[in-house]
Structure 1
């Protein structure tokens, strides 16, 4: 059973470079490294995983927003200043990837809806973070790109898999081969982001979407999440039993009964996730 929405004071990881808080059923994770345009260091990757784990395990949280501190960037990519120490050759890069992979895997398979609130630069590893979320809302004027070809980096399978799934192979080749940056309007046109809004409307738009999701039935959202994930798999790899089971769970749930009662009584439903 989900508890009533609560709020807790802002908490932090990675020496304050990852912040997170909860209010009214919405968890917010902030990349807080504005001096470097929120570039991701290894400790930030690990801090992100810790914050996501705690929000995952908080029964009051129904949706999570990821946002960058300040107005210049969501996440501008990896912290290049760490490359000489942590990614100077193949062996070191492999260790870096191993230590940051857990956070990426957690976000990729997160059991609660996630929203990227994007303003400014969203580049490289930052774009990978955004692509791992369920919904991407961007402010006008934001910039997107993957400069791997300009740095001599082989972008990983998982990152390219998500890119291709969103924009298709031809647009993925154009972005990867050139290392070009594109504006938010172009990102919206090719499907890299879901909605582009004026910068002064970004926070309110994302909060409105998050509150709407938070007020809906958690089991129905889980059913959509599971089914969409299975649709994206090859036919032979799909877990149809899981789809059937979540459908049964929804139909037998108290939330389904509450939804019917609320409709008949012309009131807002109060879903509990059971």
Structure 2
């Protein structure tokens, strides 16, 4: 049986999505994007899933971008490029709009489309050997507005321009110093570093976290397009929830709360 090029697995309250194309440094083809969106939809509907971790198999790369070997069949001309862009954009936006906290667990190369995928996550952690870069200028590719905007929101516009103008690669240390990643660990300790964050998220109130995630996405929009009424309704729902009662009781009883997300 052929090995899945992308798959999901669940560990308690954490949903994992793994890009599994290590022979090509987890380069992404159209069918992989389709599978990615399907997994995200399943996790979004599952109330037991509290957060999401995205990673690449093999240890040598997170995601290295598009599968260049398939450019002749999938991106041979402008028409094919439009189709590829539409499907890949659906994947990126599904991750960016995923309503629960998302973490990129990065090992090795995080290049081009991999950078965009990581920028669509709320947090990023990497191993010591991680390398980050946007080689679009070496390939003549158009790295579009949304990609540049999201990268610049994380590292600042001057740093984003350095990525794009030079097409050079940055180390894990440089990525941490510029705020691209929240933490760096050895290969042996990376899973524990990520688990520390996912455990904390999983124990906290889902409605409060959903509100914070929604607010973060509204902040990224122009002020004229921000939906404050939606956020006000979500705030009210927090105060009306069973979890708010549970949080108060747990505080008074000096115990850990058991939140249900309702």
Among 61, 67, 83, the alignment partner of 1:73 is: 61
Is 1:151–2:139 an aligned residue pair? yes
Paired position in structure 2 for 1:85: 73
My pick for the range that moved more, 150-159 or 226-235, is 226-235
Among 229, 235, 241, the alignment partner of 2:229 is: 241
Give the superposed CA RMSD: 1.3
Distance 2:47 2:235 in 1: 22
What is the TM-score with the length of structure 1 in the denominator? Answer: 0.92
Is 1:167–2:171 an aligned residue pair? no
Distance 1:258 1:147 in 2: 50
2:99, 2:214 within 8 Å by CA — same for their partners in 1?
no
The SS at the match of 1:27 is strand
Is 1:221–2:209 an aligned residue pair? yes
Paired position in structure 2 for 1:182: 170
My pick for the range that moved more, 57-66 or 14-23, is 14-23
Is 1:117–2:105 an aligned residue pair? yes
Distance 1:205 1:128 in 2: 22
Is 1:253–2:241 an aligned residue pair? yes
Q: How many residues align?
A: 261
Among 27, 40, 47, the alignment partner of 1:52 is: 40
- Which consecutive residues of structure 1, in runs of 5 or more, have no partner in the other structure? 1-13
In the TM superposition, what whole-angstrom CA distance separates every residue of 1:221-247 from its partner, at most 9, and x where no partner exists? 011112222223322222221222111
Paired position in structure 2 for 1:269: 257
In the TM superposition, what whole-angstrom CA distance separates every residue of 1:137-168 from its partner, at most 9, and x where no partner exists? 11112000011000110012221111111112
The SS at the match of 1:16 is coil
In the TM superposition, what whole-angstrom CA distance separates every residue of 1:13-44 from its partner, at most 9, and x where no partner exists? x9601111112111111111111111111111
Distance 1:107 1:118 in 2: 16
In the TM superposition, what whole-angstrom CA distance separates every residue of 1:183-203 from its partner, at most 9, and x where no partner exists? 011111112222222222111
Question: Equivalent residues in 2 for 1:34-49 (5 A)?
Answer: 34-49=22-37
- Which consecutive residues of structure 2, in runs of 5 or more, have no partner in the other structure? none
